[in-house]
Structure 1
Amino acid sequence: MTRHLLALALAAALAGCGADHDAATPADGKGAAATAAGTTADTGDAAARLQTLYAEFWEESLALHPLQATFVGDDRYNDRLPDTASAEFREKEHAFLTKWLERARAIDSSGLEGQDRLSYDIFVEELQDELEGERFPGWQQPLNQFYSFPSTFAMLGSGTGAQPFETVADYDAWLSRAGQLPALFDSSIANMREGMASGVVQPKVLMEKTLDQLDGLIKDDPTETLFWRPIAEMPESFSDADRERLTEAYRSLVADRLMPAYRELRAFVADEYLPAARDSVGLDALPQGAEWYAHNVRTITTTDLTPAQIHDIGLAEVERIHGEMREVMRQVGFEGSLQDFFAHVTSDPEFTYPSEDALLADYRQFEDEVNRAVPQLFSLTPEAGFEIRPVEAFRAKSAAGGSYMRPSEDGSRPGIFYVNTYDLPSRKTWDRDSLFLHEAIPGHHFQIALQQELDLPAFRRFGGQTAFIEGWGLYAESLGKELGVYDDPYHYFGRLQAELWRAIRLVVDTGLHSKGWSRDQVIAYMKENSATTDTEAVSETERYMAIPGQALAYKIGELKIRELRTRAEAELGDAFDIRAFHAEVLKDGSVPLDVLEAKIGRWIEAQRDAAA
């Protein structure tokens, strides 16, 4: 897929390997502190120039990437949709990245400290990684079942996503933006044809799922499409003239522009692309594939670990977690093998929800339970609101069990935890606790919404390192017992199953993309080693095929955070404060893992000195 530096709203962020520097924070725990007292005037000038540079970069980035602006809640460009799939746009983006990297390097950074040092290192490394990644032709395979721009635009146009539909101006903005969509489709088709010629194509099984998604979006009657929902739910405050004008304009847009574009894309995928799609499934099967995957691994994990090393870490973690699961089996008095227990918890009707409403009500009740316990572990929490929604039906079949969408910057849209209710029998009651803790509170909502509220340069507030973000989410799952949940052994098994799933990802993602594993081999490994359903095993396997390396971030990041907490507890003893530790981890936003380790080391020293 095409991905620029900060488009976290549409894809996971790429990460830099920032230098080993700590970040100071004012007494309220939020924002960037001033540079240290000994900072020279020249250093202060450099820091000020860089703050101006970051602000100018951000403004230019939003203008160049108007969808990014929409997703962070900046409505100035809601009517724009550049053809990001075109060669001209790729050249423009290359020039943009090169210009800002050269401008940053032209400023003497040698005396920077604290947040100033951290921001500079992250900024430079992210741009370097983005430019390095340009040598891999991801633009030649822009479409798959997991990151699907046709589905993304259907969400935007339905009014359930980031695109606002509150005023007449909002409705007119979408008319303008959506009218530019066919050009993006045409360029994407041209890019896929180039990929067909060069051997850079998607696995066939992924495109079969993509075809199903397109079929679900294409309707003969405009009023039956997702794009009609804003008309069906038009505010009553609109005048009769505006209501009539917009209704006809949207009918024409959907019937004459959007549906023909969707049908053309669908026909291309079915008639041209699918026959040319590959039977192989790993990234290493493509030209430069091994280097491409190694690049993904390095940028996503913010480590120098090789795929082989990560594979071995995964195997060891799977074995360890299996041991803890056998202890749960003993607690509940289950007799049989671990595989028998997996079959029990996935097939017994006791662990299923009777309806979607019952599932959503259970999650909302659990939200209240968690919120009551949060002050025991956290002093630093976001101000943004939060809500739970079911995944939209049109994308639920291929979507993950849960996901999180950040709140808008202006507070008009809360953070959203999307829980998947598709194939309801596969959504287990014992999965609730860990899924909520990861995606919602104290996981992604706490980390991402809080980061957005910090006094940091915008590229850091809205950017981030996947290993930190997803590592925090998985670490948040481990806090269940401290929050007073996981009191039911089966729910604790659900936490172990979720952790096991992330350990298995280390094995199977590296297996797929560096060891020649097949799709069936991955599915079989998952089913043999975890309590998963066929639906989940298939969708997750195909997710790893679609976004090579992203699944490695969770366990690698969590292992580092857990390692640092264990170290702090051991070195500080009775002086260890869990609320202060969590505040230290979160207070600077997402950072590369080596930077996290350095700043926690300094925090431990400071806590020890204070207790002396």
Structure 2
Amino acid sequence: MRKLILPAIIMLAVTGCKMTTGSKAQYYLGETQKAETNTSTPKQPQSATVEDMSLKAIIDSAWQINLDYSPQMAYSLGDEAKAALLPDLSPETLAEKNLRLKTLLSSLKQLDIDKLSKTDKINAQILQYQLQNDVDMYTYKDHYLPITAESGFHAYIASIANGRLHSEADYQNYLAKLNALPKYFAQQTFWLQQGSSSGITPAKVTLNGFEDSISAYIVDVEDSGYYKPFTDFPEHFSDAQKAELAAEGKKVVKEKVLPLYQQFFDYMTQEYIPNARTSIAAKDMPNGKAFYQNRVEYYTTLNMTADEVHQLGLQEVARIRAEMEQVIADVEFKGTFAEFLHFLRTDPQFYPKTAEELLKEAAYIAKKADAVLPQYFATLPRTPYGIKPVPAEIAPKYTTGRYSGSNRDDEAGYYWVNTYALNKRPLYEMEALTLHEAVPGHHLQISINKELTDLPNFRRYSYISAFGEGWGLYSEYLGLEAGFYQDPYSNFGRLTYEMWRAARLVVDTGMHTKGWSRDEAIEFMASNTALSMHNVTTEIDRYISWPGQALSYKIGELTIKRLRDKAESELGERFDIRLFHDALLQNGSVTMDILEQKVDEFIEEQKAA
């Protein structure tokens, strides 16, 4: 699942295009803002030549690009000068950024990798993987899609209201960002218009109900999340300070911020969604076949084809289905597989009555998982984590759970649990979900990654999906060894989660390359998993609007399991699960070929010891 950590690491890129006249997208643009979003010849990158750049210089330059174009990241890492800024997404700025990235990528490819140390070889490989993706996303115009089936920029930018507000200067910086929102919305809407004009949009069917994620922000000023910081000031503020800031905050939220959401709602419902593409397949977009193959290779980190992924998925579905049938036999259920799924989806005993019950169940499982960590890991992170519901504004179309990390040392990570539609949130899935999203899954892996201070920043604050999602799915499996899933229904929940990830390989490739319809994909997943129909539908829409990402889970998990089998086989009694897990995590998020290389080194080191 898409992790909410340092989104600015993922570089946006764009070829400059002129805005089509006559669009409601224009009513975000004042005269000055129109000039700022018009295409111009991008400035040449101010970077060193290929000949005089060392790997360290390239790494430093790449990190500086991240900071230069992401004020949120720069501020969160200590750059107070960026505290009042939002990202600039104008054509000339993004084009300039892309030129800098291409120059660095060219410099990196010119290096003699054989002369580098083991550590630097890995640094070079991972940086090339990242930079190549940044350049590819520019080529494929990923920035034309600042929305997905789940949500979009209009919801994610609202997190500026949750920042650090301890002084009057902090409030002035926050007010500056509120005042910058019209320009930010104008730029994002400009890119939506470019996508609409060129056939690069989410599939129309996945946008059913999307307007609800916008209307959730169209409220009275006093009820707006943007205004909330002006109702909860630090105690040391004087009454006069509070009154002045609150008045200014109310004015800007009422007159500038809230109208943006109404205008965006009108644009989306009257223009964008009605004209969104009707095909669900990535291959049907401009340059779509090449784009999807690019996504397959990026998300698996392997040279796999869509056909190979599809066949692997079918094999895994058959294997897991046999295990699920065995559980049904064990509980002596008298009926077919489909009838058992219906029983799980409809019997009230499997569903929470209140949001609090669901959150408490997640918390109880998480604390049980905390207690067994020392048995499986020699190194644990210092960063704690909390549990809270998915924000109500995005919950209806959001996935069932997610991990939201923090890049600050004074803030915990969070395991988000979706408490919307409780009759679609079965308790028998909660053990697998919690082990995946919290510990030993995403929280543990991502937190350890950030605490590896010997790694360069571009690796400490990055996320490679095949590794991270593979680790999350492996963590669900690890629960078997740790004594979870004692209840057969919970074990079936684990299997249905594994089947969910295997079915993804089939439906993602099926829809994007093999002509599968949305209904066919929904039927395939619904008939093979015990996911609620609500979850099945939201997941299928996620795969349609986020091509290829769903492939990373199973590919990563199967790789990790295979490497563990290899280590256990070669080391025998000398195999130490705690040291093995440390070996997997101590290099941060890596590609699958690098992971195999590091496990091979671990095996040789253990043999020598």
TM-score clears 0.5: yes
**Deviation at residue 414 of structure 1 after TM alignment:** 0.5
Residue 423 of structure 2 is matched in structure 1 by: 425
Alpha-carbon spacing, 1:210–1:156, altered in 2? closer, same or farther (3 Å) = farther
**Percentage of identical aligned residues:** 36
2:411 equivalent among 413, 436, 446: 413
**Deviation at residue 198 of structure 1 after TM alignment:** 2.0
2:121 equivalent among 117, 122, 125: 117
In structure 1, C-alpha distance between the alignment counterparts of 2:300 and 2:604, rounded to whole Å = 26
**Deviation at residue 557 of structure 1 after TM alignment:** 0.4
Alpha-carbon spacing, 1:106–1:76, altered in 2? closer, same or farther (3 Å) = farther
CA contact (8 A) 1:7 1:13 kept: no
Residue 479 of structure 1 is matched in structure 2 by: 478
Residue 29 of structure 2 is matched in structure 1 by: none
Residue 183 of structure 2 is matched in structure 1 by: 183
**Deviation at residue 607 of structure 1 after TM alignment:** 1.7
**Deviation at residue 141 of structure 1 after TM alignment:** 2.9
Residue 388 of structure 1 is matched in structure 2 by: 387
**Deviation at residue 102 of structure 1 after TM alignment:** 4.3
Structure 2: tracts of 5 or more residues without a match: 12-50
Residue 153 of structure 1 is matched in structure 2 by: 157
Residue 246 of structure 1 is matched in structure 2 by: 245
CA contact (8 A) 2:9 2:462 kept: no
Matched, 1:280 2:279: yes
CA contact (8 A) 2:9 2:66 kept: no
CA contact (8 A) 2:299 2:549 kept: yes
Residue 32 of structure 2 is matched in structure 1 by: none
Amino acid at match of 1:322: R
**Deviation at residue 186 of structure 1 after TM alignment:** 1.5
Secondary structure at the residue paired with 1:560?
Answer: helix
Matched, 1:96 2:76: no
Matched, 1:372 2:371: yes
Matched, 1:9 2:13: no
Residue 136 of structure 2 is matched in structure 1 by: 132
1:423-462 correspondence runs (5 A): 423-454=421-452, 455-462=454-461
CA contact (8 A) 1:519 1:541 kept: yes
**Deviation at residue 252 of structure 1 after TM alignment:** 1.5
Note the alpha carbon deviations across 1:330-385, whole angstroms, 9 max, x for none.
22111211111111112111111121111111221222211111111111111111
**Deviation at residue 129 of structure 1 after TM alignment:** 2.9
Residue 44 of structure 2 is matched in structure 1 by: none
Alpha-carbon spacing, 1:289–1:383, altered in 2? closer, same or farther (3 Å) = same
Matched residue count: 568
Residue 504 of structure 2 is matched in structure 1 by: 505
Residue 533 of structure 1 is matched in structure 2 by: 532
Alpha-carbon spacing, 1:449–1:74, altered in 2? closer, same or farther (3 Å) = farther
**Deviation at residue 52 of structure 1 after TM alignment:** 5.2
CA contact (8 A) 1:47 1:112 kept: no
Amino acid at match of 1:143: I
1:356-371 correspondence runs (5 A): 356-371=355-370
Alpha-carbon spacing, 1:505–1:76, altered in 2? closer, same or farther (3 Å) = farther
Residue 571 of structure 1 is matched in structure 2 by: 570
Amino acid at match of 2:412: P
Residue 67 of structure 1 is matched in structure 2 by: 72
In structure 2, C-alpha distance between the alignment counterparts of 1:457 and 1:97, rounded to whole Å = 18
Alpha-carbon spacing, 1:594–1:108, altered in 2? closer, same or farther (3 Å) = closer
In structure 2, C-alpha distance between the alignment counterparts of 1:517 and 1:239, rounded to whole Å = 63
Secondary structure at the residue paired with 1:435?
Answer: helix
Note the alpha carbon deviations across 1:260-308, whole angstroms, 9 max, x for none.
2222211111111122112211111111111111111111110111111
1:18-417 correspondence runs (5 A): 50-51=55-56, 53-69=58-74, 76-84=81-89, 86-105=90-109, 108-157=112-161, 159=162, 163-219=163-219, 221-409=220-408, 411-417=409-415
Note the alpha carbon deviations across 1:9-64, whole angstroms, 9 max, x for none.
338969xxxxxxxxxxxxxxxxxxxxxxxxxxxxxxx9995345434532342132
Q: Kindly indicate whether structure 1 or structure 2 has the higher relative contact order, using CA contacts under 8 Å at least 6 residues apart.
A: 1
In structure 2, C-alpha distance between the alignment counterparts of 1:502 and 1:76, rounded to whole Å = 43
In structure 2, C-alpha distance between the alignment counterparts of 1:342 and 1:67, rounded to whole Å = 45
CA contact (8 A) 1:434 1:495 kept: yes
CA contact (8 A) 1:384 1:407 kept: no
**Deviation at residue 74 of structure 1 after TM alignment:** 6.0
Alpha-carbon spacing, 1:217–1:366, altered in 2? closer, same or farther (3 Å) = same
In structure 2, C-alpha distance between the alignment counterparts of 1:577 and 1:48, rounded to whole Å = 42
Note the alpha carbon deviations across 1:433-453, whole angstroms, 9 max, x for none.
110100000000111010000
CA contact (8 A) 1:284 1:514 kept: yes
CA contact (8 A) 1:47 1:116 kept: no
Alpha-carbon spacing, 1:540–1:571, altered in 2? closer, same or farther (3 Å) = same
Secondary structure at the residue paired with 1:217?
Answer: coil
Normalised by the size of structure 1, how large is the TM-score?
0.88
CA contact (8 A) 2:508 2:551 kept: yes
Normalised by the size of structure 2, how large is the TM-score?
0.89
Note the alpha carbon deviations across 1:163-201, whole angstroms, 9 max, x for none.
223333222222112221211222222222222322222
Deviates more, 1:588-597 or 1:512-521: 512-521
Secondary structure at the residue paired with 1:388?
Answer: strand
Alpha-carbon spacing, 1:509–1:329, altered in 2? closer, same or farther (3 Å) = same
**Deviation at residue 106 of structure 1 after TM alignment:** 5.9
In structure 1, C-alpha distance between the alignment counterparts of 2:99 and 2:5, rounded to whole Å = 21
Secondary structure at the residue paired with 2:202?
Answer: coil
In structure 2, C-alpha distance between the alignment counterparts of 1:264 and 1:429, rounded to whole Å = 40
In structure 2, C-alpha distance between the alignment counterparts of 1:484 and 1:11, rounded to whole Å = 38
**Deviation at residue 232 of structure 1 after TM alignment:** 2.3
Amino acid at match of 1:547: W
In structure 1, C-alpha distance between the alignment counterparts of 2:491 and 2:159, rounded to whole Å = 35
In structure 2, C-alpha distance between the alignment counterparts of 1:12 and 1:334, rounded to whole Å = 49
In structure 2, C-alpha distance between the alignment counterparts of 1:151 and 1:73, rounded to whole Å = 25
CA contact (8 A) 2:503 2:525 kept: yes
In structure 2, C-alpha distance between the alignment counterparts of 1:554 and 1:308, rounded to whole Å = 17
Deviates more, 1:491-500 or 1:223-232: 223-232
CA contact (8 A) 2:309 2:509 kept: yes
CA contact (8 A) 1:145 1:213 kept: no
CA contact (8 A) 1:373 1:484 kept: no
In structure 1, C-alpha distance between the alignment counterparts of 2:340 and 2:81, rounded to whole Å = 54
Alpha-carbon spacing, 1:303–1:74, altered in 2? closer, same or farther (3 Å) = farther
Secondary structure at the residue paired with 1:400?
Answer: coil
Amino acid at match of 1:440: A
Deviates more, 1:480-489 or 1:309-318: 480-489
In structure 2, C-alpha distance between the alignment counterparts of 1:169 and 1:70, rounded to whole Å = 14
In structure 1, C-alpha distance between the alignment counterparts of 2:168 and 2:551, rounded to whole Å = 44
**Deviation at residue 406 of structure 1 after TM alignment:** 1.5
Note the alpha carbon deviations across 1:556-595, whole angstroms, 9 max, x for none.
1000000111111112111111111101000000111011
In structure 2, C-alpha distance between the alignment counterparts of 1:433 and 1:485, rounded to whole Å = 7
Secondary structure at the residue paired with 1:413?
Answer: coil
CA contact (8 A) 1:13 1:464 kept: no
Residue 465 of structure 1 is matched in structure 2 by: 464
Residue 551 of structure 1 is matched in structure 2 by: 550
CA contact (8 A) 1:444 1:473 kept: yes
Deviates more, 1:437-446 or 1:89-98: 89-98
In structure 1, C-alpha distance between the alignment counterparts of 2:427 and 2:552, rounded to whole Å = 26
Alpha-carbon spacing, 1:475–1:73, altered in 2? closer, same or farther (3 Å) = farther
Note the alpha carbon deviations across 1:386-409, whole angstroms, 9 max, x for none.
111111111111111111111223
Secondary structure at the residue paired with 1:532?
Answer: coil
Secondary structure at the residue paired with 1:387?
Answer: strand
CA contact (8 A) 2:63 2:457 kept: yes
